[in-house]
Amino acid sequence: MRVRDGFVGLIATAVAATAAQGAVIRVGSGGDVATIQAGIDAAQATPENDQLRVRAGTWNENLLVSGADLGGTLEITGGWNASWTDRDPDPASTVIDGGGAGRAFEAGFVSAGALVLRGLSFEGGRAQSGSSGGARGAGLFVLAFDVPVAVENCLFRLNEVQASNGISGAGAAGGYVIVGGTASLSIDGLVASNNSTTLNDTIGAVVGAGFGIVSQGSATVTVAHARFEANTMAGPGQQRGAGLALEASSSSTISMADSVFVGNHGSGMTNGAALAASLSDDGSIDLRRLVASENRRDASDPSEQMYVRCFAPGDCSVRISDSLIADGGTGIMIDSPSGVIDLVNVTSTAHSQLGISGQVFPPGVGSLDNSIAWANAGGDVLLFGSGITQQANLIGVDPRFVSPASGNYRPGADSPARDAGTATPSGGLSTLALGGEPRLAGSAPDQGAYELGEIFVDGFESGDTLAWSLSVP
């Protein structure tokens, strides 16, 4: 499976450039070391920036970064050929297989240096009760403070968490990353698929199956071009975020864009079968241009695909914009006893239960603007509380999607959503819509996740040739 092979922004670019100036350690037959672990140990033994070039293939190892100091920048890149002069960017070409014996990769506490992982597949990892750091992060476990961490073009699949102690909970079988202090986490190009988290106890919570990210202090997290698919979780009590679980506290920030959630589910009632976001203090989360579809156990499951909550006390904030949530139990559930929750240009449709639901009571505030909720069997919008406002939405009115039967929820040329939004939503107007098109293409922004634009004014978008005009409009 191929995912994006670009640099992960300014942080990763700076880290990679610095690493390139240090030592290159060739990993594999005929290289400097025979195993990845030997390369990590050699890199940590020297106070310089090191690049581990790992030959393509399957590596049956349980990698461990020991100690808080990485000895500079530690960059591990997969896909290299036999001469270490060229590389295949496909992460599936370089597999780190934990073999069910432990985590595939663990960096339990890092507070000096920098870590870069690029073009690698983490598989067969296992974490259980009694594992260092708890029953979390079977494929990848990283705890970092005051250092940059970058994950680029990596694949996490077929990792497993099995926990028997419900007091400490369980979660995030694919990967679990905690960043605190002034640390940064930059992710660009991530696939988490077919990872499973199971809690075998009568109590306790399961948080995450595909991936989990926790930001604390003043840490910053950016995630782009990620896919979470067919991850599963099971347990006796609360289950949150089968695809992805996010937590932001203190003054930390998480931003995520251009990502997809499909076919993730829990074993029972689940808060956020696709994504669960929990915030406290002054933490903030910004979610843009996301697609969530068919994240539930079965057709009768009422669990919501996205779940967002701001906890008291504090002024936490979350914004979901330019996103499509379709074909699930419930679309989005919000809960804000404190802080701010804004939904802008969201489309929620084709759910067996509710499209958008939740509650916002003072001092919490929230808004629903420029959004579409349609064809949700249990009701399109059900929001409680005096803290929420709504404007310029298309609720319970046929938006005339191009082809909902085939999953095309773009508005057709004759859609009442065209140019019907407000340019001043409470949560602010985005620059780009879900398809990457400019958000303000007409006289006013469209309602919903997409922006049709004036180019399709004659019905070309619908594919109905009878609707096309013979002249340029």
Picking from 8-12, 171-175, 239-243, which range would have the lowest pLDDT averaged per residue? 8-12
The reply to whether 30 falls in a domain is yes
Q: Which residues lie below 8 Å from residue 178, measured CB to CB, with a gap of 6+?
A: 142, 143, 144, 213, 214, 215, 216
* Partners of residue 171 on adjacent β-strands: 136
Torsion angle (degrees, nearest 10) of CA 177, 182, 187, 188: 180
pLDDT value of position 459: 41
Q: Across the chain, how many H-helices and E-strands are there? A: 2, 38
Six-digit token pair at 159? 């990792």
**Strand pairing class (401-403; 408-411):** antiparallel
The reply to whether 97 falls in a domain is yes
Q: Tens digits of per-residue pLDDT, 332-377?
A: 999 888 889 999 999 999 999 999 999 988 888 999 999 999 999 9
The reply to whether 422 falls in a domain is no
Mean pLDDT over all residues of the chain?
89
The reply to whether 92 falls in a domain is yes
Q: Tens digits of per-residue pLDDT, 56-65?
A: 999 999 999 9
Q: Which of 108, 114, 160 is nearest to 138 (CA)?
A: 160
Torsion angle (degrees, nearest 10) of CA 306, 299, 322, 468: 180
Picking from 57-71, 290-304, 404-418, which range would have the lowest pLDDT averaged per residue? 290-304
The reply to whether 441 falls in a domain is no
pLDDT value at 36 more than 50: yes
pLDDT band at 473 (very low <50, low <70, confident <90, very high): very low
Q: Which domain holds residue 8?
A: 1-169+182-187+217-240
More confident of the two residues 405 and 302: 405
pLDDT value of position 14: 37
What is the number of domains present in the chain? 1
The reply to whether 41 falls in a domain is yes
Q: Which residues lie below 8 Å from residue 281, measured CB to CB, with a gap of 6+?
A: 249, 250, 251, 313, 314, 316
CB hemisphere CA count around 381 (13 angstroms): 21
DSSP at 11: H
* 253-277 burial code (b ≥16 CB/10 A, e <16): bbebbbbbbbbbbbbeebbbbbbbb
Look up residue 361 and give its amino acid: F
More confident of the two residues 110 and 21: 110
pLDDT value of position 453: 65
On the question of a cis peptide bond just before residue 236, with omega within 30 degrees of 0, the verdict is: no
The reply to whether 246 falls in a domain is no
Q: Which of 246, 277, 255 is nearest to 339 (CA)?
A: 277
The reply to whether 388 falls in a domain is no
More confident of the two residues 394 and 21: 394
376/397 Cα distance (integer angstroms): 11
pLDDT value of position 166: 67
* 95-123 burial code (b ≥16 CB/10 A, e <16): bbbbeeebbbbbbbebbebbbbbbbbbbb
* Partners of residue 421 on adjacent β-strands: none
Using an 8 Å Cβ cutoff, are 310 and 316 in contact? yes
